[in-house]
Amino acid sequence: MTKNKSALITGITGQDGAYLAQLLLGKGYQVHGFLPRRSTDTSWRLRELGILDDVHMIEGDLSDLSSLIRAVEGSRADEVYNLGAQSFVGTSWQQPLLTADVDGVGALRVLEAVRIVNREARFYQASTSEMFGLIQAERQDESTPFYPRSPYGVAKLMGHWATVNYRESYGMHASSGILFNHESPLRGIEFVTRKVAHAVASIKLGLQKELRLGNIDAKRDWGFAGDYVEAMWLMLQQAGADDYVVATGKTVSVRDMCELAFAHVGLKYQDYVVQDEKFMRPAEVDVLLGNPAKAKAKLGWAPRTTFEQLIAMMVDADLRRLSSR
Ligand code: NAP
Ligand code: GDD
């Protein structure tokens, strides 16, 4: 009988961690989650997907190498997915050193843990389109130069290059997924799509009067997180490790996203959206637009969910949640 594969996921309680855990459980993996100690319960996403009891939790923190070594050993992981991060760009200006430590040096610590314990284990690094920042090409792909615009982007660039370096130095199967923005009903409330979806539902139900936003001219290449975790898994199933851009190839402004979300419940965004300096960033990434041709050609990956379906799904989920309270 063949042994079921074992996976270790850092950031398992986050949006992507929850969807990835669900995907891997469905494929028969034993799934281990790397769980930082928090004073409150952070497992709502795993509970909402109905998989909380199916994953094995190992306590630890990305700032603690010894806990990572214990986790890689204890899980006997064949595949390690490093999704854990301080992932909110805005916060990275308030906590730049923590962001550098968790997102940059943290990725290096995971690579070291894998190298020390079992360098045959395959490794995935959650890299980001935020590394393109001030874009150097109209459509960004794997060969576009990076120009990060936030402490978060700078930290993630370290994680990306550490991954490339461990692949080249030690022959490790270490891949970096350069993922563009991906959203879902499980998105954290601080990110703009979920903030808008939640506000639309609240306004529709008479629980909120206005929505305060920052730069609504910013444009993003937005996809559905459930589609994107499949690309992560596919990267680790290839004979060789590599780097891949994962995106939809379309870009939409925050303004047009608002229009769509409000229209979904029969409202006009102009009647509710107020611009507020408080949500502006010291340096903005004005536009992101990915070219996922390599992921399509080599992984056979393509997004399945349209932007319209994604926004409708998010607004409907928040309407359901708020109505059942
Ligand atoms: P998320 O919802 O913010 O989840 C982040 C996860 O990291 C949470 O489980 C969090 O745990 C954990 N974490 C934070 N600090 C940690 C620490 N010191 N030690 C261990 N775990 C820690 O993020 P996401 O949207 O799922 O994104 C997953 C990864 O992909 C992140 O690395 C993100 O930077 C990257 N990424 C995301 C996108 C996107 O659009 N979603 C695009 C490109 C790249 P707590 O909740 O307990 O803090
Ligand atoms: N969060 C937020 N809140 N963003 C706003 C607001 C607001 O009130 N108003 C305008 N925006 C603009 C931001 O300035 C940014 O240009 C855009 O909306 C998207 O912001 P976020 O949803 O916070 O995402 P992000 O693009 O900064 O970062 C996300 O995507 C990255 C990949 O490109 C995060 O998931 C990162 O972890 C990820 O790496």
Bin 133: left if φ > 0, else alpha if -120 < ψ < 50, else beta: left
The pLDDT of residue 2 is: 63
Residue 57 and residue 35 in contact, taking contact as beta carbons nearer than 8 Å: yes
pLDDT digits (tens, 9 = 90+) for 78-118: 999 999 999 999 999 999 999 999 999 999 999 999 999 99
Residues 70 and 18 in one domain: yes
Residue 260: give its domain's CATH number. 3.90.25.10
Quote the CA–CA distance of 231 and 247 in Å, as a whole number.
Answer: 10
Residues 90 and 69 in one domain: yes
Quote the CA–CA distance of 110 and 108 in Å, as a whole number.
Answer: 5
Residues 139 and 174 in one domain: yes
Q: Tokens standing for 210?
A: 């206005």
Residues 139 and 213 in one domain: no
Collapsing DSSP to helix, strand or coil, 53 comes out as helix
The pLDDT of residue 1 is: 53
Cα 199–313–253 angle (5° rounding)?
Answer: 65
297 domain residue, yes or no: no
The pLDDT of residue 280 is: 97
Tell me if 192 CB under 6 Å of ligand 2: yes
pLDDT digits (tens, 9 = 90+) for 142-181: 999 999 999 999 999 999 999 999 999 999 999 999 999 9
293 domain residue, yes or no: no
Indicate which ligand has the atom closest to the C-alpha of 221.
2
294 domain residue, yes or no: no
The pLDDT of residue 250 is: 98
pLDDT digits (tens, 9 = 90+) for 184-222: 999 999 999 999 999 999 999 999 999 999 999 999 999
Q: Whose CA is nearest to atom 25 of ligand 2?
A: 89
Distance 88 CA to ligand 1 centre (A): 8
Residues 316 and 240 in one domain: no
Residues 177 and 259 in one domain: no
Distance 181 CA to ligand 2 centre (A): 8
282 domain residue, yes or no: yes
Q: Looking at ligand 1, which atom is closest to the CA of residue 156? A: 34
Indicate which ligand has the atom closest to the C-alpha of 85.
1
- Distances in Å between the Cα of 2 and the Cα atoms of 48, 77, 79, 80, 313 are 31, 15, 16, 20, 38
The whole domain housing 152 covers: 6-182+223-246
Residues 71 and 195 in one domain: no
Residue 21: give its domain's CATH number. 3.40.50.720
Collapsing DSSP to helix, strand or coil, 140 comes out as strand
Number of domains in the chain: 2
Tell me if 218 CB under 6 Å of ligand 2: yes
Residues 163 and 30 in one domain: yes
Query: pLDDT category, 3, cuts 50, 70, 90?
Result: confident
Residues 163 and 209 in one domain: no
Tell me if 281 CB under 6 Å of ligand 2: yes
The pLDDT of residue 325 is: 83
Please classify residue 318 by burial: count the beta carbons closer than 10 Å to its beta carbon, then call 0-12 exposed, 13-18 middle and 19+ buried.
Answer: buried
Tell me if 147 CB under 6 Å of ligand 2: no
DSSP type of residue 246: E
Residues 257 and 276 in one domain: yes
Q: Looking at ligand 2, which atom is closest to the CA of residue 87? A: 37
Tell me if 214 CB under 6 Å of ligand 2: yes
Indicate which ligand has the atom closest to the C-alpha of 197.
2
